[in-house]
Chain A
Amino acid sequence: MSAEARRWLERIRALPLPERFRIMNVCGGHERAITMAGLRRLLPPGIELIPGPGCPVCVCPEEDVHQAVQLALREDVVLVAFGDMLRVPVNVPRRVPRSLEQARAAGADVRPVASPMEAAAVARAEAPRPVVFFAAGFETTMAPVAAMLAEGAPENLFVLLSGRLTWPAVAMLLESETPGFDALVAPGHVSTVMGPEEWRFVPERHGIPAAVAGFTPESLLAAFYSVLRQHLEARPFLDNCYAEVARPGGNPSARRLLAEVMEVCDAPWRGIGTLPRSGLRLRMAWRAHDARARFPAYEEEGRRRAGRMPPGCDCARVVLGRIYPDQCRLYGRACTPRRPIGPCMVSDEGACRIWWAGGVAS
């Protein structure tokens, strides 16, 4: 363990800790760093790290995934997407492909990409055949998608956008009577793009301790220490434990391009329902690259499926940190990593998958 990480851990252990203290993060990247370093086992028992609504796989509405699967199967297109989305299941009858990966096994041309630039490269190579880029993610990922379009994308590239803002879901939780957490670790790279100031409403309007964290154990442990001490000294404020990258004001070019190419809109969150002004969609000026305009038929079909979760699936309440994964009726029974039903079990960083990996089997 690095000396700095150990120092933060020792400082945490030296604090007069409350009996129970729930720290929520809203970033799959944080969850991944916490899980890969095994941080949960290192912290004193009273501290609970809760994965909140911040992983594209968990919150991407089923109708968007369904639309992508149908497009891949029924149109002569190349469907490219980030690897995270290829195994997300949709609620369909048994024999029908229920994910993009199963659509590929059934003959659709589905390819994983690691960058919007690759999507553009595939489009250039496949021209004039249409290439649909299923781009799901939050502000950090939407800015590069906007940059790719603004820089000039091939004519045959169409974006099926499923963009989300991160703070609205946290605001919704804090405005409900039971937010389900005592402190927030704010997402490092969203703050890098949009600026940490976006998160000041958490301490200033709701009195909840908050700290922006990066993705190293040192930064995460420092953030845990900071919110604990804010709580103990009743001094909630927005700390920044990732100042080397998340600077005041964020990234002005990224924010300008985001505003130029996309606009904020109401958006459905899987299992949670529609949150006002929580999504991003392409502006009219970019219709020529909007897959929903190019393939309108699938738009309608997708909307009819809105909101439906697999029967008995409690992912919605797990995503919001309202219940622990093993309080869901399907957890460990019908829903396991081998046959995941809800998104929280599919995603490597979903709350249920993390509990399963921690040895909590049912």
Chain B
Amino acid sequence: MCLGVPMQVLAVEGHTARCAARGVERDVSLFLLQHEPVGPGDWVMVHVGYAIQRMTEAEARSAWELHDEALAAGDGPTPGAADA
């Protein structure tokens, strides 16, 4: 229920960030990200013109990947324990 698009912050002025994605620019509100600093170069997930989260590198796509890697390395944590 929420079309979201990753956009890169170009400039910040108060609660507004000028963001761009593949040649299209939009003024995005940072009012929902007051708990963490957002600056030029950061990527944010934008929904209805509001940044709803700053994007970070994900460690793994699924807990099963961690589980299988650990299994291969000999000490298998149960994925149930490793959930988000």
Residues of chain A at the chain B interface (Cβ within 8 Å): 4, 8, 26-29, 32, 54-56, 82, 114-118, 137-138, 140-141, 143-144, 147, 150-151, 166, 187-190, 192-193, 196, 211-212, 215, 218-219, 222-223, 225-226, 229-230, 235-248, 251-254, 257
Across the two chains, which residue of chain B brings its CB closest to A138?
A: B1
Q: Does B20 contact A (CB under 8 A)?
A: no
Residues of B within 8 A of A225 (CB): 62, 64
Bound complex: CA of A229 vs CA of B78, how far in Å?
Answer: 13
B15-65 at interface with A (beta carbon < 8 Å): 15, 27, 29, 31-35, 45, 47-50, 52-53, 55-64
Q: From A28, which residue of chain B is reached at the shortest CB distance?
A: B1
Interface size bucket, B side? 20 to 34
With most chain B CB atoms within 10 A of its CB, the pick from A56, A117, A248 is A117
CB-defined contacts of A247 to chain B, threshold 8 Å: 53, 56
Q: Which residues does chain B contribute within 8 Å of A27, judged by CB atoms?
A: 1-2
Taking CB as reference atom, which chain A residue is nearest B31?
A147
The one of A114, A189, A236 in contact with B45, judged by C-beta atoms closer than 8 angstroms, is: A189
Q: Which A residues touch B62, using CB under 8 A?
A: 211, 222-223, 225-226, 239, 241
Whether B74 is near chain A, meaning CB under 8 Å from some CB there, is no
Task: Tell me whether chain B's interface is mostly helix, strand or loop, or mixed.
Answer: loop
Q: Once bound together, how far apart are the Cα atoms of A144 and B58, in whole Å? A: 25
Name B48's contact: one of A29, A116, A226, A254 (CB within 8 Å): A116
Least Cβ–Cβ distance between A137 and chain B, in angstroms: 6
Q: Is the CB of B2 within 8 A of A140?
A: yes
Which residues does chain B contribute within 8 Å of A196, judged by CB atoms?
84
**Are A192 and B53 within 8 A (Cβ)?**
yes
Distance, CA A164 to CA B15, complexed state (A): 27
Q: Please, how many angstroms separate the alpha-carbon atoms of A135 and B60 in the complex?
A: 36
B52 and A140 contact, CB distance less than 8 A? yes
Name the B residues within 8 Å of A118 (CB-CB).
Answer: 49
Contact between B4 and A189, CB atoms less than 8 A apart = yes
Chain A residues, CB < 8 A from B2:
27, 29, 137-138, 140-141, 187-190
Q: How far apart are the CA atoms of A27 and B3 in the complex, in Å?
A: 10
Query: Which of chain A's residues have a CB closer than 8 A to the CB of B79?
Result: 230, 235, 237, 239
B66 to chain A, nearest CB (A): 10
CA distance A192 to B84 in the complex (A): 12
State the Cβ distance, A196 to closest chain B Cβ, in Å: 5
* A329 CB, nearest partner CB in chain B, Å: 28
8 Å CB contact of A251 from B3, B52, B55, B80: B52
14 contacting pairs across A/B (C-beta < 8 A): A27-B2, A141-B1, A147-B29, A189-B45, A192-B4, A192-B45, A192-B53, A237-B63, A238-B84, A239-B63, A243-B84, A244-B56, A245-B45, A257-B31
Known pairs A138-B2, A235-B78; list 16 more (Cβ under 8 Å). A82-B48, A116-B49, A141-B48, A143-B52, A151-B29, A166-B1, A190-B2, A235-B80, A239-B62, A241-B61, A244-B56, A245-B55, A246-B84, A247-B53, A247-B56, A248-B84
Q: Which residues of B contact A8 (CB under 8 A)?
A: 61
